[in-house]
Structures are given as C-alpha cells and as structure tokens.
Amino acid sequence: MKIVQEMDSSKKPTQPVACEVSSIWHVLGKTWALLILKNMSVKETIRFNELKRLLPGISNTVLSDRLREKEKEGLISKKVFAEIPLRVEYSLTRQAKELEDVLEVLGKWVSKWKPSR
C-alpha cells in the first residue's frame, strides 16, 4: 500500500504518488502498537512487567515483538543493566515523544468523526 494514484479533475489516474506514512504504518498499525506507546508515555522509563500490567490481555510474546519492532524503528530505547536478576528498562525516544502530539490530534479527529450510537 505504498502507492496511491493521484487523481486529476477528470478523475483519471495520472501518476503514482508515494504515501509518506506507509513506511512506518507497518509498525504503528499492528495490534497493541499504539496502546503500548500511549502507556509508555506516562512514565520516563518502564519495565516489561509493569507495561504488561497496564495492557491486560496482551501476551508476553506479542509485547516482546512490539517492543522489538519499535526499538528497530527508533521509537523506543532499551537499556539493559548488568545486574542479577537482569533489569531492562524501556523509554520513548525523542522521535516517539514527537509522535505523541500526532496521536493526540488523531484522537481528537476520531472523537469528532466517530459515529454516534
């Protein structure tokens, strides 16, 4: 879904145009992804089990996968402490903190346009 057709006034496709968000949407669009970021934003650093408690229903495997994906994309940082037992802390990067503003605007848009029931 990286390419959409640009339409001119006669509704005929002209040339392909790359979608700017498609490259990150494969990470942000996955189940739990936005909830993880939202819950990480409430603290400066958070540990795995603490984050898992904030997300009832998520499995260890899915949480681990989503954290790894976000780390790879530069949205979170992982700090491992050489202690026994091993201690790992996660935090949002500056890039992800900027994304919080985007998510807030998106949330307002959803509230404005969601169908009333």
Please give the pLDDT value at position 107: 86
Q: Is residue 87 a part of any domain in this protein? A: yes
- Nearest residue to 32 (alpha-carbon basis) of 66, 70, 64, 74: 66
Please give the pLDDT value at position 106: 86
- Per this entry, what is the length of the chain? 117
Please give the pLDDT value at position 114: 86
> Tens of pLDDT along 23-65?
788 888 899 999 999 999 989 999 999 999 999 999 999 999 9
Domain that holds residue 41: 31-113
Q: Is residue 11 a part of any domain in this protein? A: no
Please give the pLDDT value at position 1: 44
pLDDT surpasses 60 at 3: no
DSSP state of 85: S
Q: Which residue has the tokens 């057709």?
A: 5
Q: What's the number of domains the chain is made of?
A: 1
Which CATH number goes with the domain that contains 52? 1.10.10.10
C-alpha–C-alpha distance, residues 34 and 110, integer Å = 14
